[in-house]
Amino acid sequence: MRKPLLFLLKIIISLAIFAFLFYRIASDKTSFSEALQGYHNNLPIILVVLLLMPLNWAMEVFKWKLCISPLVKITFKQAIAGVLSGVALGFVTPRAVGDYFAKVWSIQHEDRKKALGPILVARMSQMLPTLIFGIFSVKIFLDKSGSMLYFPTGYTPILIIVGGFLLLLLLIFLFFNYGKKKKHLIYYFDLIRELKLGIVVQLFGLSIVRYIVFSIQFLLLLSIFSFPLSLADQFMGISFMFLAKSVLPTFNVFNDLGVREFSAVLYFEAFGVASAPIILAGLILWLINIAVPALIGLFFIQRFRIDPS
């Protein structure tokens, strides 16, 4: 009963998000035309954003090569194939499930299904900066939007520490308790125990670098327009978008297209910023960071030897 209800909830939220964005575009076509012209007149900036895309995904390639090393040593070229094919399959699967399968298929090992554990660790490492910066952005958004949910500034670090600690306890509880009942899951995630602290720290460091690179890309696109916001507030808007993309229960097979634009508009409108440049910035970055790598990833998928077992 829960699965149909969750599926229905995802459909409703996804449709509501696209309806909201369509309404924004249809109700102010002039602003969107002006914003589009603004981007067209600043193609060198878009070119810089495009050139940063390989650096963005290089961080993910290094993470994949690093986290799978306890199971099998792969070359940088093999890591690229695994990551970009994952982008391609994740492009057409909810919550990027295809990313897991593509990376597992990309390695040659008799026990390659054990790669699921390290893949999960790598994805969780990317969630850490998302949660850390995201909590701050939510605090700023609630204060700026005049919400009743107001937290005094002095309590923010305490809330982040307590919230992070409780989240860690929850993850540990779910892993050990649910894992004991589902013993076959231990087979897939047993490799996590072999990840040394040094590897985990490096994964976290690479995740932060990737987070910063993406933020710079978005900030460059926003720099085309004179927004009455500081760089810190704009960065928090990006953090808010990242968090919403990660936690909103949406049914979206285009790698969360629409979710990031919706959340960014929600945040920046609280500061009185027009929605047109924000939506277009999100779409341009989606094309550069997701659509282009997904197209490249298609060339790698056809080379995989898929084991149906």
The domains of the chain are located at 2-301
Query: Which amino acid does the sequence have at 62?
Result: F
Please tell me the distance from the alpha carbon of residue 302 to that of residue 279, in angstroms, as a whole number.
34
In angstroms, the CA 281 to CA 269 distance is: 15
Give the model confidence (pLDDT) of 1-38 as tens digits: 555 665 566 666 667 766 767 777 777 677 778 888 88
pLDDT score recorded for residue 30: 77
pLDDT at 282: 87
Q: What is the pLDDT of residue 236?
A: 92
- Phi, psi for residue 43 in degrees, rounded to 5: -60, -30
Confidence band for 200, pLDDT divided at 50, 70 and 90: confident
Top-confidence residue, 210 or 22: 210
Give dist(CA 134, CA 241) in Å, integer: 8
The stretch 238-256 carries a mean pLDDT of 73
**Which pTM value belongs to this model?**
0.79
Amino acid (one-letter) located at 36: L
Measured distance CA(41)–CA(179) in Å, rounded: 55
289-298 per-position pLDDT tens digit:
988 998 898 8
With H, G, I as helix, E, B as strand and everything else as coil, classify residue 225: coil
Q: What is the pLDDT of residue 217?
A: 95
- In this model, does residue 52 exceed pLDDT 80? yes
- Over range 126-137, report the average pLDDT: 88
Helix axis angle, 292-301 relative to 76-90, nearest 10°?
Answer: 110
Compute the C-alpha angle 131/117/213, nearest 5°.
40
Alpha carbon distances (Å) from 197 to 67, 72, 193, 200, 287:
11, 18, 10, 5, 36
CA distances from 23 to 15, 19, 248, 270, 274 (A): 12, 6, 20, 18, 14
CB environment 41-57: b (16+ within 10 A), e (fewer): ebeeebeebbebbeebb
pLDDT at 221 over 70: yes
Give 70's pLDDT tier (boundaries 50, 70, 90): confident
Tell me how far apart the alpha carbons of residues 151 and 144 are, in angstroms, rounded to a whole number. 12
pLDDT above 90 coverage of the chain, percent: 20
pLDDT digits (tens, 9 = 90+) for 138-192: 888 888 776 544 444 444 555 555 555 555 555 555 555 555 555 555 666 666 7
How many residues comprise the chain? 309
**Phi, psi (deg, nearest 5) at residue 227:** -85, 140
Whether 130 shows a pLDDT value over 50: the answer reads: yes
